[in-house]
Structures are given as C-alpha cells and as structure tokens.
Amino acid sequence: MEQAPTIDHDRLFKELLTTFFVEFIELFFPKLAAVMDRDSIVFLDKEVFISLFDGREYEADIVARVRFANTETEAFFLIHVENQSTPEADFGRRMLRYFTGFFEKYDLPVYPIVVFSYDKPARAEPTRYTIGFPDGEVLRYSYRVVQLNRLSWRKFVSQHNPIASALMAKMKIAEQDRPRVKLECLRLLATLKLDPARMRLISGFVDTYLRLSRQEIVRFEQANCRERSCSCRERGSDGNRNKLDGDRHRTWPGAWSVTRPTRRHCSGRARAFLAFGTPALRGAGGGDTGESSRSFADDYRRLGRSLATRGELAGATHGLSALRRGTCHVTILSCVIILS
C-alpha cells in the first residue's frame, strides 16, 4: 500500500504566516495590529537556542521586529509566532525559553503567540507557564494561543481575510461539513484581490489539509451547483459545444472536467476560482505543481497539455495574463471559470 507523502507542517505554516503576517495579526489580535507600524516589519534570521537541560536545539518559527506606531520616538518590539503541529507536554516551558532568549539577545519586549494546529486532542491548551511554591507563585509567564481545533469555521466564513480562507481548513469541522468548508474556503478566496502566487499558496494549503474523498467530492459538486454565484448561462442561439480532444464532455480523474463552449458568461466571483486550477496552467509550462497538490498533479499536467496544444496557453503560463486567444470553459470540481 502506497504511503501518503509526509507533510512538512512547520514549513507550510511558516510560509503562510510570513506571507500574510499582517492579516494574521489583524484577524486574531486586532488590538496588537492597531499599535504596530506595518511598514516596519522585518523578519529576523533563524533563531536557534540550545537547552542546557537536555542539549537539544530549538529553532523558533517566526520572529518579527516591529516598530510601535504613533510614537514620538522609535520604539520596537518582537512578535514571536510558533506553530505547534503535535501535542507536547510542558510546552509552555519551551515558550519561556524562547522568550528569555529573545529578551536577553535583543533587549526588546516580546509578544509571544502559539498556533496549535494539530487535529487531536481538542482539549484546551494552557496559555501560561508558572512556577510556584506553597506560599505563592514566583513566576507567571503568559502567551497568546490560537488553537485551531477549538475554533468554529462558521465564525470566520464572512471574514474578508486570506488567513481565514486558509485556516478554516484546519478548524473544528464536523465530518459531514468537510465538502461545505472546502467550498467556503475557496469561495472566500475568490473574493480576495490577490496575485496568482498568493492565491496558489492559499489554495494549495486548503488542498493539503482538506482533501476530499470521492464521496465528498460528489457532495462538494452538489453544494457548488446550488450556489448562485457559480451559475452560468449559455449565450448564443445554437448553444452547441465544440469538442476538446475528440470528447464532447471529458471528465478527468478527481472530478476535473473540460469542455469548449461557443460562448459562456460567468460571475466575477466564480472567475476567481482560477486559483484552485493554477497548478494545471503551470504544469503546461513545465512548472512545479507543488507538494501540496501532488494528489492532483497528473490531472493538472494532462489538462495543461491539452489546453496548450489547442493554443489556449502560450509559454510558461502564469494565470489569466498568459491566455492569448479563444474562450475556454474549465470546470474545477463543478465551479465554472471563464478563461478569456
């Protein structure tokens, strides 16, 4: 039995959170976002600390140096974001180690944040580390916590924020809601005005953490068909469809389908779902489809080659700007996209 590829959780989260760092702070820590100068953010080089207790090396995930906004004199602080993809006993002690290391090295205030991104257990994680004696505490160290498996995706579905679009895939989701959540993630992504690279990052993140079974794909399609935002209507009198590669309607493995209509019209929201199919276009130019979309890589490449041979794509494609001529109708898990 073929084993599923290992997911580098820390790398994926680090890429997502550094790319959308300001949006992450705005979504979960709005009071902090209000006091930081967003143009001053500088990510520090790899920070590694060696434990004197066990000799192990600990590398911090994200450390940013930020200036306080609206201050007469320049004053800076650090934001430390640590992604924890597996449960760890006494985790607060490691956060304290990071804190003391940063404070000693940079002599700046430190705002510590932990993103607990594992699925189980769903018990509430501590938000502080304490040292006490019978006559009282001698140390209380607190850190901020974003525990995804205790957050309801429904509370974030209306947030116009790319981080919400991505992280909903890791939130508390009932089994029967998985197709709906994936649809909502991509629909939210469709409303954001992002460049193709950032759209690929989010759609790949969602695809990595919210992979649907064949049965779930069917439910995804059914839910998608009910959405008016993805409805299309024929324009023209005859409504005939040209064939692509000799097939009137060709369905690829994984529920990808391609047809070539005479003319179609689609809403702008549906058009933006191109992000989910971008690896297909990149595959036509020989680009890397990425680890996060490996399960659909063959379908991406096959679709890309088919479009390229029809003259719909030119060279190394990078989204809509690479499309030179013709009208192509691409259905991605039943979501209609117009490439023109």
pLDDT of residue 323: 32
Burial 127-159 (b: 16+ CB within 10 A, else e): eebeeeeeeeeeeeeebbbbbbbebebeebbee
Q: How confident is the model at residue 284 (pLDDT cuts 50, 70, 90)?
A: very low
pLDDT of residue 54: 64
pLDDT of residue 45: 85
Return the CA Rg of the chain. 23
Q: Which residues contact 211 (CB under 8 A, 6 or more apart)?
A: 295
C-alpha 242/C-alpha 335 separation (Å) is 20
pLDDT of residue 230: 44
Helix (H) or strand (E) holding 308: helix 297-309
The model's pTM:
0.69
